[in-house]
């Protein structure tokens, strides 16, 4: 199989790759944003736990 032929998709590559590309971009962007949000939320909890430890050491 020829890759150039595969990507051209009968000359309709714009439509096919426009669809698959948008799909991939949407998923990647969603994953990035959700992981950032989860990371921030969990970091806040880790911070609080670290503060716990610091307080424990002082006592």
Partner 1 sequence: MSIFKYSSPAMFFPLAGKLLPWFSALAVLFGAIGLYLGLFVAPEDFQQGEVYRIIFIHVPAAWMAMFIYLVMAMYGVMALTLNTRLSAMMMEALAPTGAIFTALALWTGALWGRPTWGTYWAWDARMTSTLILLFLYVGYIALINAIEDKKRADKAGALLVIVGSVNVPIIYFSVKWWNTLHQGLSVSATAPSKMASIMLWAMLTMAIACWMYAIAISLVRVRAIICERERDRILGQERIRRREPAPGSAVASL
Name the site residues for partner 1 (rule: CB under 8 A).
1, 6, 9-10, 12, 15-16, 18-20, 22-23, 26-27, 30-31, 34-35, 37-38, 40-42, 44-45, 48-49, 52
Is 18 or 57 the residue whose CB approaches partner 1 more closely?
Answer: 18
Q: How far is the CB of 57 from partner 1 (least distance, A)?
A: 14
User: What are the CA-CA distances from residue 38 to residues 31, 32, 35, 48, 58 (Å)?
Assistant: 10, 10, 5, 16, 31
When the beta carbons of 49 and 54 are compared against partner 1, the nearer one is 49
Would you tell me how many other CB atoms lie within 10 Å of the CB of residue 37?
Answer: 10
Sequence length of the chain is 59
């Amino acid at each position: 199989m020829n890759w150039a032929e595969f990507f051209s998709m009968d000359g309709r590559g714009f439509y096919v790759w426009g669809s698959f590309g948008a799909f991939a971009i949407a998923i990647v962007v969603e994953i990035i944003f959700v992981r950032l949000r989860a990371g921030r939320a969990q970091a806040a909890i880790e911070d609080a736990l670290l503060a716990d430890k610091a307080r424990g050491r002082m006592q």
